[in-house]
Chains A and B, each alone.
Chain A
Amino acid sequence: MGYRILFKEEVGPGAYRMIIDAPHVAKNAKPGQFIVLRVHDRGERIPLTISKADKENGQITIIFQVVGKSTKHLSLLNENDELADFLGPLGMPSEIDNFGTVVLIGGGFGTAVLYPMVVAYKEAGNHVIVINGARNKDLLLLEKDLSNIADEYYVTTDDGSKGLKGFVTDMLKQLIDNGVKIDRVFAVGPVIMMANVAKLTKEHGIKTIVSLNPIMVDGTGMCGACRVEVAGKTKFACVDGPDFDAHEVNFDLLMKRLRMYRREEQISLQKFEKEIAQNG
């Protein structure tokens, strides 16, 4: 079984969209689920959210950002190249229903994960409000895709280069203050952003779901690398998640655990960049 790259495009600085030939994954994929891939036969297993599953053509779309060696390597592959391994769909599908008015918040690269959720919530009949936040306007992802689907679409940037100057939480607060009746919030992005969204919605008693991205190895419930604390209990994000009730998540622990291999990630990336430089 080859896992061929059918299509590749850059969707933002260092962010790419790829379509992979993976009929066995596309068949049963549901919103909120992810895949685990290996770029090459000495590669690590990296989890990525399924951005779109085309069951008819047996194709899976992924969006990823270059953050380390594996994603750097992946970004250098081209159409018709093959991935070593591609497993999925993994994780619990998101709970999608007609809740009424749903605010979907994507921060930075989290927006890529947000996209399939926006599609799913919209299809379920919700009034969909999207808040897309980034540091500046050049880093905003998927603007066209999201604004086309959303009933209401808002942008925030830290530097004010587009939309509201400030954080996604500032926009969310405005909506709440304006009396918008929000039935559910779904947020994905940097841990600090998700924590701040959770804090705000907890004050207002709005049910909030976050999609967590801890370090994983197998992604099938076998190793416990991805353990997170939810309501004081240890959960495995790969089998119990990746979606959790934001008001119960220990974000501080998640943030620390994400930093566990920071030094090794540097070593690996530097070695790879040196190799690329040497090989032209």
Chain B
Amino acid sequence: MGRIKPKRVEMAKRPVEERIKSFDEVALGYTVDEAMKEAERCLICPKPTCVPACPVHIDIPAFIKKIQEGDFLAAVRIIKQDNPLPAVCGRVCPQEDQCEGSCVMGRKFDPISIGRLERFVADYEAKVGNVEVQPVRDRKPEKVAVVGSGPAGLVCASQLAQLGYDVTVFESLHEFGGVLVYGIPQFRLPKEIVKREVEYISKLGVKFVKNFFVGRTRTLEELMEEDGYDAVFLGTGAGLPRFQGIPGENLLGIYSANEFLTRINLMRAYQFPDYDTPIKVGDTVAVVGAGNVAMDAARSALRAGAKKVMILYRRTEKEMTARAEEAENAMEEGIEFHFLVNPVRYHGDEDGWVKEVEVIRMRLGEPDESGRRRPIPIEGSEFRILVDTVIVAIGQIPSPIIAQTTEGLKTHERWGTLIANEKTFATTKKGVFAGGDVVTGAATVILAAGAGKDAAKYIDYYLQNKEKPGIWEELTKAE
């Protein structure tokens, strides 16, 4: 220590030619030496700027200090006080916009690789098989239902369990993890890791129920009035895929990104026919959109056998919402990026299979409500691109089912997101809280995790003050 080390320790990645042929994880993680060396770079700031930039406020200097001391298990314990999903978040968080983005080292040099260190200690703990669970001392009688086992639900459930509540997580699919298992591909987040983190949370005392679709299997009211749940957290995500609504969008071979990724990730269609679910990936694949989901879909298509994969995006590289690291990985792997083009129509053959996508060239106009420059079509600039498969990755909105089947649960008109207080996560229905993508629309794993964590705090407050007059008013009006 003492001397500033400006350069971060790079993390090994699987070579391109090897990784495009397999779904094995691309980033290989630090070795012990690499982790120690990178941790050495941290200044352990007494007033850290990284912690406030973390949506779950992990005590970053404290855990890095433990790495410096060589006590990796102590490091992971510190992280888990605030985040039960370190192996997940260490892999998929956009650290460059959060902790690492506000690291003081980053002003002049490379920031500390906080995400890689988080991943390292989580993987180390799993490897030595010494996962420690803090016993809960103070058990409380109240029952809480957590709906959805994605990042928001998992974090909320683990926090509530640690506070002593009787928590049950309800999942409609046949595996736990939500978007972590159906959306994010194996090569970015191996499913075994999600399983591990779910196992850890169940060791905290959380009960997990799969194949249970709240809104249909049981309504929210039945859970609360008949099944005895005192509070509910809705972390149901944004699962309903959006389409552009252009002619030919229902031709065969046109997938929503959610369907494409669900077939590959959750159903393991890339191992067909050893797994029963098939997928159709032609030689030439076009992916519409340039967010993280689009990158995941494009890179999955390549691994599933496509010879040529194109990203079609209506704005430019600068406006892409994908993490820089993910776009870079995609480019390294040979994915073509076509900017300032937007599909206007699909053309098919007589059997109904998509053959061509007709796109129009765009230019950028004035900034829109998102602050990014609005794309404007250039009249008469249409042209066609030959394709075998199309994946539409232009966003997801929440499923309407729970709001439809629950009286008093209100949604925003535009995208059907649930109305919830920004601070307390209280919805328009008493006892029901909501956080993550179902409130914000599709965002990131860590923002959902942060919402789940903060919501747990207010669920606790609500359950301890349930009889207080005007409690719900207080929670829904809080600023």
Interface residues of A (CB under 8 A from B): 1, 24-25, 27-28, 38, 42-45, 69-70, 84-90, 217-218, 220-225, 227, 229, 234, 236, 239, 253, 256-257, 259-261, 264-265, 267-268, 271
Contact = CB atoms under 8 A, between A and B. Distances in A.
Interface of B: 172-174, 182, 209-213, 216-219, 222, 239-241, 243, 245, 249-250, 252-253, 255-256, 258-259, 262-263, 267-268, 272-278, 280, 351-352, 399-401
Contacts of B253: 260
B400 A239 contact: yes
Given A27-B218, A87-B213, A253-B352, A217 B263 contact: yes
Given A87-B213, A217-B267, A224 B272 contact: no
11 contacts: A1-B210, A24-B218, A69-B276, A88-B217, A89-B216, A217-B263, A218-B182, A222-B239, A222-B258, A224-B258, A257-B252
Nearest to A35: B211
Contact of A224 (B256, B352, B401): B256
B400 A221 contact: yes
**Which of B209, B213, B239: most chain A Cβ within 10 A?**
B213
B93 to A, nearest CB: 24
Contact of A84 (B174, B259, B273, B277): B174
Contacts of B217: 24-25, 27-28, 87-89
Contact of A221 (B255, B278, B401): B401
Nearest to B243: A234
Nearest to A89: B216
B240 A88 contact: no
- Summarize A's interface: helix, strand, loop or mixed: mixed
Contacts of A229: 250
Contacts of B267: 44-45, 217
B280 A1 contact: no
Contacts, number: 127
B245 A234 contact: yes
A253 B243 CA distance: 17
A87 B399 contact: no
A221 B352 contact: no
A70 B258 CA distance: 23
Contacts of A218: 172-173, 182, 262
Given A42-B268, A239-B240, 9 more contacts: A1-B210, A217-B262, A221-B401, A222-B239, A224-B255, A256-B252, A257-B352, A259-B351, A260-B280
Nearest to A3: B211
Contacts of A256: 252, 351-352
Contacts of B263: 217, 223
Given A25-B217, A84-B174, A89-B216, A227 B272 contact: no
Nearest to B179: A222
Given A85-B210, A90-B213, A257-B352, A239 B401 contact: yes
Nearest to B256: A224
Contacts of A221: 239-240, 399-401
B250 A257 contact: yes
B243 A222 contact: no
A20 to B, nearest CB: 12
Contact of A28 (B210, B216, B241, B258): B216
Contacts of B352: 253, 256-257
Nearest to A255: B352
